[in-house]
Structure 1
């Protein structure tokens, strides 16, 4: 009687061959779906059942699959890339805005490419815009603190949907911003309500849109409450400037409170007050603006104005997608900031 021989045929490997990155077909095979289904998941197609979508996403994570952006762009004629044209991106506000936009864009299935322009001259701006266009961006965010950047952009042709994050008053249909004037009024009003009448304002650089708006908010609130005003002191956003300005002001000491246009200058003033043998808020009350992460750990913890950068990024991306995708919601207008009350404001010393 012939001897029977059992032959075991190994099942096909669920992993892609070593040395090769997983492909869309590898994901489809492991997930038990067609490669067209995987493609629909990647493109956020509404017809995919939630359980199927989750299974495909789980397999992508397991295989560490990364979509090929170039290949997808060829097939769909869309890059799913948003561009950011940014000046002064090392400062807290612009840097926080960029991070928030990148986070919101990823959540919506988009990539972000950022062009940082070191100079605000026309050539640098045009080069930055050309760099982003070459990457096939579908939408543009402009984060530029100086008005001269927008003067230059007005002369250039922007052929994609765009949003600016500074309120210049020129293009409200394409503007989204935090209400800097309202934030400055909140800070100034808080000092007045605590009894202060001798208040100095350390403003930002004269050519910055946000600095001008915060200075205007300070002056508006002082005027509306019939409190005498002194000329704002133009600074440069740095703690060093706050320190030296505070030291000069303390030689006369004809004030009880200071509203600084950002937290770094407020920190410098706090240093100057302590250097003079005085205390915050016993002798001088101080309010900042931005609520940087360190503000809660100044001594004393700084009362300041918080800008919701996460919401700004979410609305910015949603506003762009409203122009790119009919189903995306639109958000326009300004975001109202919030006063964060801590321990740097007290009753007037005199």
Structure 2
């Protein structure tokens, strides 16, 4: 630090302020210090900086299926919000939802000196024996916490209810459901809400079909549904499975939406360009990312007031894949 200060012609305190990204340094001086740091290969000592600021400047994220659209978007949103707060992100992908795997991921991140950790869509939290480090600030995104940890989630029940209600209000007698995998918190919540909404409307409740979030699984289930003339409305738990359903219906000669209406969930970027454009449930992942980081920083800074649980309400986006049922089928 003394070498950087000498080269830049400033005090060591000014170098410290630049290293800690403080605002009370004019831009010309900041540029001189940064240039001297680059020439000398200076890197701030994160442990020493943490003693001064109380922060390491990094947040950890643990996720079990980063390939899933929702998890990937949530991770990107958390990273964006963290960057705005001058934090970096350390990511740990975990394949198995076991207590040992989760504890190992937390140990790894703590060795990397993170200030707090976001756990994304974890079913392992349903295990009462799982105890995460009590001194580590933790926020759960899109998962059941049992009120043990602050959490941010989409109102999955509201989203599914909006999809089913939309189809019933169009005049469909009932709505068939293509659910996500059994071990997904989001899929379970959507399926439960689908069932409750039909029951409350006194509509028949068809058997549920389970996919794995992929278009291929939606296509496989869609082939089965296409052969049932009583199927006039389908709610798929994500847009990729809805795409597979629509292809299967098309190949079977059943038109969307003239013969069968289809609703998805997520509003992926391509949903508006499906044939026909897909009616779906839109989720604002950027809002979830901001809330996760805010709740984490509240814990890091010792602010415990305010809500420990936040629900972001999804929005129904009506496009061209839904319409009233064919005459004589309602």
TM-score (norm 2): 0.87
Paired residues in the alignment total: 320
- Which residue pairs with 1:71 in the alignment? 45
Give the whole-Å Cα distance in 2 for the aligned partners of 1:338 and 1:186.
8
Deviation of the 1:191 alpha carbon = 0.9
- Which residue pairs with 1:322 in the alignment? 298
Asked if structure 1 preserves the Cα contact closer than 8 Å seen for 2:175 and 2:232, the reply is yes
Q: For the pair shown, which has the larger CA radius of gyration, 1 or 2? A: 1
Q: Which runs of 5+ in 1 are unaligned?
A: 1-22
- Which residue pairs with 1:313 in the alignment? 289
Give the whole-Å Cα distance in 1 for the aligned partners of 2:157 and 2:73.
19
Deviation of the 1:75 alpha carbon = 3.2
Match of 1:110 among 87, 97, 111: 87
What is the Cα-based RMSD across aligned positions, in Å?
A: 2.8
Give the whole-Å Cα distance in 2 for the aligned partners of 1:285 and 1:220.
20
Asked if structure 1 preserves the Cα contact closer than 8 Å seen for 2:4 and 2:37, the reply is no
Say if 1:69 and 1:61 are closer, same or farther in 2 by CA, change over 3 A: closer
Give the whole-Å Cα distance in 1 for the aligned partners of 2:137 and 2:143.
17
Deviation of the 1:121 alpha carbon = 2.5
- Which residue pairs with 2:103 in the alignment? 126
Asked if structure 1 preserves the Cα contact closer than 8 Å seen for 2:140 and 2:149, the reply is no
Give the whole-Å Cα distance in 2 for the aligned partners of 1:139 and 1:124.
18
**Pairwise mapping of residues 34-49 of structure 1 onto structure 2 (< 5 A)?**
34-37=11-14, 39-40=16-17, 42-43=19-20, 45=22, 48=24
Give secondary structure in 2 for the equivalent of 1:136. coil
TM-score (norm 1): 0.82
Asked if structure 2 preserves the Cα contact closer than 8 Å seen for 1:243 and 1:265, the reply is yes
Q: Which runs of 5+ in 2 are unaligned?
A: none
Give the whole-Å Cα distance in 1 for the aligned partners of 2:230 and 2:171.
15
- Which residue pairs with 2:260 in the alignment? 284
Match of 1:261 among 230, 237, 250: 237
Match of 1:300 among 248, 273, 276: 276
Give CA-to-partner distance per residue, 1:201-241, whole Å, 9 cap, x none: 11111121111100111122222222221122122111111
Deviation of the 1:70 alpha carbon = 5.3
Say if 1:339 and 1:122 are closer, same or farther in 2 by CA, change over 3 A: same
Asked if structure 1 preserves the Cα contact closer than 8 Å seen for 2:118 and 2:140, the reply is yes
